Amino acid sequence: MPSIQEIKKNELNTDRFIEEKVREISGLVGDGVAINALSGGVDSSAVTILGHRALGDRLKAYFINNGIMREGEPQAIARIFEKLGVKIEIIDAQDEFFNALKEITDPEEKREAITQTFYKDVFGRLVRKSDAKYLLQGTILTDVDETIAGIKRQHNVFEQLGIDPEKAFGYKIIEPLIQLRKDGVRKAAAALGLPESIYNRPPFPGPALAARVIGAVTREKIGIVRKATTVVEEELRNTGAFQYMAILHEDKVTGMRENKRDFGLQIEVRCWESVDARKATPTKLPYETLTKLADRIVNEVPGVVSVTYNIASKPPSTMEVV
């Protein structure tokens, strides 16, 4: 397998990069159709614009509502792109994902269940429906590195693991961002005319909120971690941190409400300083910020009696818990 030639942010000439990638996509897809899934993250957003520039209406852009995204996310992202002239179709696949995740507790099995549901079931169906031969996706170099190193199986890495997507799923994959890391993608996304809310958006994992539930994923647990995520994102938005998240623990702990025992849930908050996600340290948040987070989470998220803040660095920690 040829090694991938990294393009560092300071070496990236965005005009030339965009022109080359648009030409490459047009050349591969010819007069056919390609599909892509937009998640609203900077990687898939940049790919959506590149694909739209190369193919116009022959790019079918979908937002897969897998049931594990944040509050109101599918609609909010579709609106941003419609303003940019790119039509996004929202696909409701919630039942499929929750069924696939049922009773799975092992982190890598969870990731695999999400991968298979995305690529085999949902994309397989969309490819057949649209007659597309290609899927465009926003894999970046860090995804490949961490998967090859066996740290975490990123949901979007195949060829580097010896998996031929055409044989496994029935379509080819085009990865225009594979030579870049996150900082390079942000630079390219800004040059593509995406709004700052997108090109500076904190990263969010492919397995979405399922990466933030320890143990088996259910609709109910996703509902809880989603509410906690809303609070954490509102309170930490202005910290300038690389990423911040709420995690729902599996173990319950004894708490008390209205003078009665309440055997309740634990939420862990993580907030990270990092350049490219390869190493990270916890942000030194002011104590008042931590207290406000705790107060809001125990009051606004049903069943939560304990809130903790992670103080260990990556490595040996990783940023997500799953």
Nearer to ligand XMP, 52 or 155 (CB): 155
The tokens describing 109, both together, are 């099995």
Nearer to ligand XMP, 114 or 231 (CB): 114
Interface with ligand XMP in residues 88-117 (CB under 6 A): 111
Provide the pairing of β-strand 88-92 with 134-136. unpaired
Q: Which stretch binds ligand XMP (CB under 6 A): 22-30, 74-82, 148-156, 295-303?
A: 148-156
Interface with ligand XMP in residues 261-280 (CB under 6 A): 277
Q: How far is the CB of 10 from ligand XMP (least distance, A)?
A: 21
Nearer to ligand XMP, 22 or 42 (CB): 42
- Does 207 bind ligand XMP (CB under 6 A)? Our answer is yes
- Name the residue number minimizing CB distance to ligand XMP: 206
**Residues 228-257 vs ligand XMP: string with x where CB under 6 A?**
---------------x--------------
Residue closest to 111 by CA, chosen among 123, 100, 96, 127: 100
Burial class, 256, CB count within 10 angstroms (exposed 0-12 / middle 13-18 / buried 19+): exposed
88 HSE (CA, 13 A, CB side): 27
Nearer to ligand XMP, 54 or 319 (CB): 319
Q: How far is the CB of 65 from ligand XMP (least distance, A)?
A: 17
Q: How far is the CB of 318 from ligand XMP (least distance, A)?
A: 3
Residues pairing with 245 in the sheet: 270
**Exactly one of 67, 107, 206, 282 binds ligand XMP (CB under 6 A); which one?**
206
The amino acid sitting at 159 is E
Nearer to ligand XMP, 21 or 155 (CB): 155
Give the dihedral of Cα atoms 165, 33, 181, 284; nearest 10 deg: -100
Q: At CB < 8 A and 24+ separation, what contacts does 209-212 make?
A: 209/68, 209/69, 209/70, 210/68, 210/101, 210/110, 210/114, 210/322, 211/110, 211/320, 211/321, 211/322, 212/245, 212/246, 212/247, 212/248, 212/320, 212/321, 212/322
Binding residues vs ligand XMP (CB under 6 A):
111, 146, 152, 154-155, 203, 205-207, 211, 243, 277, 314, 318-320
